[in-house]
Structure 1
Amino acid sequence: MFPNDLCCYWLLISLCFVFDVEHQDGDLEDFKRDAAALAEENNALKIKLKEAESCAELSEPTTDPEHSGRDLRAEIRKLKKAYKALSSQKESEVSALLAEKDFVWNQYKTMEKDYETLLKKKKMEAAQATEAAEKLQQKVEELQLQVVAQKKDDDVGRLQAEANDAKKKMLVLEDKLQKMHSLVSEKDDEIQKLKSGHLQASQKRKKDISGTHRRSRSEGPSVRGKSKGIPRRQMAEEDQPETSQKRQCASSLSSGLALRRCSSRMTHLKPASSSSSPAPQQVLFHSSFKVPKLKAPAPPPPPPS
């Protein structure tokens, strides 16, 4: 075996080992097939060389040594040329395969770097999108809280306004109630005055009647005859002031009782709550109420002459 053959053979084996280590399955199979074909061709050439040498040795005693030597050298030169051509072809194929492997490996590294860069970019975009979504959710929650707080403030303001209106109405009703109480107290004072005047008048009347009875008893039958001669109309006129005073007292008493009842009803009525509508105002007198006309008291009769 020639030294060049050994170098090529070990070069092919080392290349096969390198390809096997790098786990390039597709290219490795092709390279193995090419290496096996190259080894088979080398073996075939070796066999041919051996056959040629054996033939030369056998033909040396019977043939011309010079002629056989020339033929053998020519055959060897042909075989060497064929081997060189085949080895150069296989070397070019191996170099092409190595260049293709390097190119593919570089492309793979470039794609891996691009993929890692794209993956980092996508992760950053996803993190930014998540952060933006969280901020948006936080803003939405803050806006919802602000809306709820604003609604509560509006409700509180509305309730305060209603409470103020209710307080104002209560103050107005209390003023009216105080006025009615003062009016009722005035009427009570008038009623008391009328009662005291009525008592004084009745006492005076009783005194006058008792005095007239005493005088009539002391004067005798002459005065009785004169009293009998007094017409009934004059007696009716004398009784008229007393009846008019009684009617006036009764009417004032009835009006005073009505005012007391109204005042007691107003005191029992309580104002409604601040949230509800105000209670309707109690009317003291209806529109159809008319003040009764009292007859003017007749002048007292002239004293008897």
Structure 2
Amino acid sequence: MAPASPPVDGWVPSTLQRERDAFRAKATRRAVITAGLASLAVFAVIALAVTSSPGWPAFRETFFNWDKALSSFPAVLRGLWMNIRVMLVSAVCIAIIGLTLAVLRTLRGAVFFPLRALATAYVDLFRGLPLLLLLLVLGLGMPALRLSGLPTSALFWGGVAITLSYSAYVAEVFRAGIESVHPSQWAAARSLGLTYRQTLRRVVLPQAIRSVVPALMNDVVSLHKDSGLVSMVGVTDAILAAQIETSSDYNFTPYVVAGVLFLILTIPMARFTDWLARRQGQRGVLL
């Protein structure tokens, strides 16, 4: 009888394995130190070139005035909260409309041709129109019409413009995810007795949405930035608040404050998107 193998908990790496681990750890530390020193050197050269330029004192006073930053910060922060609210409400509406359009575009059969045509026309129209043009037409034009039963708020129509534009792009992301699901998944679900709606809801959409989450997160990052365009129709967001603060003395530091606040929100979302993409890639390799 063969001797029993030693328990896994008692495993001890060999000398060669320990040497490999030590070499890899040393190489990793060396790479991190080299990258850090190289980055510091590049940033130091850039900082030296900028601060030694003849116009740096005036530029610093105009764009990096600490007292102006402190005085404008509360107003810009209140405006940023408006951007966040626009983003959150629009994101929910965009997800619902985009998913509906994607499902309509993937319907099969001649009887569904009108629905497919309408969904395709919607996507082509609002992907083709610039977002800024939509904001100006809806945000300024619709309140001027004063149609009974419809809001006249520029904020409402600005959110509608953003929703219409982004839902067209998100619909294509969802459609790509739905079409990436192998046809065998549809066939297997239908062979088990699931209806088309049950197959779509329980089998196809969970897989499709999971595969496009990184792309959707990229759209969320872009949506947060583009929410600042509502200032074009008179909504007091972070950008317009910075403009109001600037108009008193033509010091542009409030714009820098608004940019920093946007970065504080968008950079973590971007890094989270990268993490999701890497995780999705690793899962795909494992599968």
TM-score after normalising by structure 1: 0.23
State which structure, 1 or 2, has the greater radius of gyration over its C-alpha atoms: 1
Q: Relative contact order, CA 8 A, sep 6+: which one is greater?
A: 2
TM-score after normalising by structure 2: 0.24
